[in-house]
Structure 1
Amino acid sequence: MTDPSAKIITREQAALLAQKAREQGQTVVLANGVFDLLHVGHVRYLWAAKKLGDLLIVGVNSDASTRALKGPGRPLVPEAERAELLAHLSCVDYVVIFPETTVVELLKAIKPHIHAKGTDYTPETVPEREVVAAWGGRTAICGDPKEHATSDLLATIRKLLASESSR
């Protein structure tokens, strides 16, 4: 069994692995997100992304980029732990932590055949779709309907804590 920590790699390593995969005729897929409080929606998205190709690389927003995107108090789980959790999933081949607030630079480095996004997007609303199209890649929407979100989990937890503290 492979040590899951070996699946957490640098952008440069991911670019080389993607290049080798392309040379071997394999389809490279990149999925990305914050993945704070890993939940079933995340797992279904990543499982569906893996079914789109042979090599699934998952980009994870760094702590700093997550704070910039989600606000103070986020992430709840540090980037190294979020990456480790994802690395334990059998559908995930490699994980890369990226510092930018968008995945554009990681996409440009890896040049995946497919950029997989969750169902909270449509192909027309994915901000990076033109970047991926520039080298002939495509954007795919996958996973289950957006019925699970970390923000919703946090709201539920806050509500429970509030009711507990009022007792």
Structure 2
Amino acid sequence: MGSVVTWEKLDALRVQWRREGRCVVWTNGCFDLLHVGHLRNLQACKACGDVLVVGLNSDASVRAIKGPSRPVTCEADRAELLAGLACVDAVVVFDETTPEVSLARLKPEIHCKGADYAPPHGKPIPEAKVVAAYGGTIRFIPLVPGRSTTETLAKITG
């Protein structure tokens, strides 16, 4: 089980993990209305290395990405839920809509993205240049079909 950390605490943890030779994995997202698809994705991310850090979009960045009715769950609750998962070592909140600044600061060995971003037909990956610049690797994690917050909300409101 992990913890919700500040960037300052994460910087210190990163130094420790590097000294211990641990492989740090980063993934990020909104994680609004946590579901089994999120869990399986995070478990697959953790299997890519030793330490899993989850970057959580702040409430403001979720609104910028998803619209004014989101998030459904506030960032403090989303962060605590994620930190409570056995596969998550640390959760840090970030305000940007994409993780370039966070990745440039943490420099994880592995950055995990959903398979919907995989080349050649995937969505653009704005942070790919940042990851390449510090020598990191991007890994694509399969999505769980039929499991998404958007689909869940459609059922609720439908």
TM-score normalised to structure 1 length: 0.87
Structure 1 Cα separation of the partners of residues 17 and 154 of structure 2: 41
19, 40, 63: which one aligns with 1:44: 40
2:127 is aligned with what amino acid? E
19, 26, 30: which one aligns with 2:15: 19
Larger Rg: 1
Runs of 4+ in 1 over 4 A off after TM superposition: none
* Cα offset, 1:123, TM superposition: 5.0
| SS in structure 1 at match of 2:73 | coil
* Cα offset, 1:51, TM superposition: 0.3
Q: Where in structure 1 are there 5+ consecutive unaligned residues?
A: 160-167
Structure 2 Cα separation of the partners of residues 21 and 143 of structure 1: 27
83, 86, 91: which one aligns with 1:90: 86
* Cα offset, 1:128, TM superposition: 1.0
Counterpart of 1:30 in structure 2 is 26
2:137 is aligned with what amino acid? R
Counterpart of 1:61 in structure 2 is 57
Count residues with an aligned counterpart: 155
Structure 1 Cα separation of the partners of residues 15 and 114 of structure 2: 25
- Is the Cα contact below 8 Å between 2:100 and 2:126 reproduced in 1? no
Structure 1 Cα separation of the partners of residues 10 and 145 of structure 2: 28
TM-score normalised to structure 2 length: 0.92
- Is the Cα contact below 8 Å between 1:123 and 1:141 reproduced in 2? no
- Is the Cα contact below 8 Å between 2:52 and 2:87 reproduced in 1? yes
Mapping of 1:1-167 within 5 angstroms?
7-122=3-118, 125-159=124-158
How big is the alpha-carbon RMSD for the aligned residues of Structure 1 and Structure 2? Answer: 1.5
- Is the Cα contact below 8 Å between 1:120 and 1:145 reproduced in 2? no
1:133 is aligned with what amino acid? A
What fraction of aligned residue pairs are identical, expressed as a percent? 50
* Cα offset, 1:68, TM superposition: 0.4
- Is the Cα contact below 8 Å between 1:30 and 1:59 reproduced in 2? yes
1:87 is aligned with what amino acid? A
- Is the Cα contact below 8 Å between 1:45 and 1:142 reproduced in 2? yes
